Amino acid sequence: MSQLDTLVRICAEMELELSEETIDKLDAFRSLLIEYNQHTNLTAIRDPLEIEIKLLADSLALLPLIQAEMLRNGREAGTVIDLGTGAGFPGLPLAIANPALHVTLVDATRKKVNFIEHVGQELRLTNIAPIHARSEDVAHKAEFREQFDIVTARAVASMPALVELCLPFLRIDGLALLTKGRSIGDEVADARKALDTLGGDLFDIWEPDVLELDNTSIVQLRKFKASPSQYPRSPGTPANNPIR
């Protein structure tokens, strides 16, 4: 049996072709996750097939959108920051599948960042930068603020909080790709004021046409003006007291 058959099929349905090298590395990443998760709690998803679908395929579902964005920008390389990446989702599979992306991975939990560093060493990834910090703090540092082409976040916060956390990292005209469940119209509407405040606009909601990803939608936000310097507010405030 070849490796990651289900992932390869799902990707083909999204018109994504994975190289042999990418498949080998994603398979090695899955093994490292299973192994590390035995002694350090990283994710509740432990079954190999479930990892393939709910973590790897769900992450790679962003790739067609990222590739379209690179085409739009007229560049092959791009910078991505993944906020609240946990054990590396969606940022790490994206970095593995597309070496032209430089992916910064931010998480507030030390053990998860340690795992990402371990994967980076084992797989010799040169296009990732793991950071152990709260994204509210990172966003106020000049080398990260308004620097990125793309910001991603999956299962981190509600839409209004995410808008405040994500938009400060984007350069003007940059794109936020937020992985959510289906039926998120109300949650998106709830982010209206946060979007106006942070300088973003709803661009599209994309639902991958794949049976296994039938509870995934990707909210795409476009940044059209600079985010005021007081945002994001202090750590915890965007989630505890979202802009409404």
Q: How far is the CB of 11 from ligand SAH (least distance, A)?
A: 18
- Residue with Cβ nearer ligand SAH (156 or 221): 156
- Cα three-residue angle 54-21-41, rounded to 5 degrees: 40
Q: How far apart are CA 119 and CA 126, in angstroms?
A: 11
Q: What is the rounded (10 degree) CA torsion for 162, 168, 173, 179?
A: -20
- Residue with Cβ nearer ligand SAH (36 or 89): 89
Contact between 218 and 179 under an 8 Å Cβ cutoff? The reply is: yes
- Residue with Cβ nearer ligand SAH (137 or 146): 137
- Token pair 């599979």 in the structure block, residue: 93
Contact status: 109 vs ligand SAH (CB under 6 A): yes
Residues 7, 60, 84, 164: which binds ligand SAH (CB under 6 A)?
84
Which one of the spans 25-33, 83-91, 180-188, 202-210 is the region binding ligand SAH (CB under 6 A)? 83-91
Half-sphere exposure of residue 86, counting CA atoms within 13 Å on the CB side?
18
Task: Name the nearest CA neighbour of 199 among 221, 224, 176, 232.
Answer: 224
Which one of the spans 14-22, 23-31, 102-110, 194-202 is the region binding ligand SAH (CB under 6 A)? 102-110
Instruction: Provide the β-strand partners of residue 153.
Output: 83, 178
Q: How far is the CB of 40 from ligand SAH (least distance, A)?
A: 12
* Interacting positions 153-172 with ligand SAH (CB under 6 A): 154-156
Q: How far is the CB of 2 from ligand SAH (least distance, A)?
A: 26
Contact status: 86 vs ligand SAH (CB under 6 A): yes
- Build a one-symbol-per-residue string for 25-64: x at contacts with ligand SAH by CB under 6 A, - elsewhere: ------------------x---------------------
Q: How far apart are CA 53 and CA 66, in angstroms?
A: 19
Tokens of 110: 């030390």
- Residue with Cβ nearer ligand SAH (180 or 225): 180
CB-based burial label for 202 (10 Å; 0-12, 13-18, 19+)? middle
Tokens of 86: 């946990």
Tokens of 244: 């409404």
Q: How far is the CB of 71 from ligand SAH (least distance, A)?
A: 26
Which one of the spans 7-15, 96-104, 133-141, 192-200 is the region binding ligand SAH (CB under 6 A)? 133-141
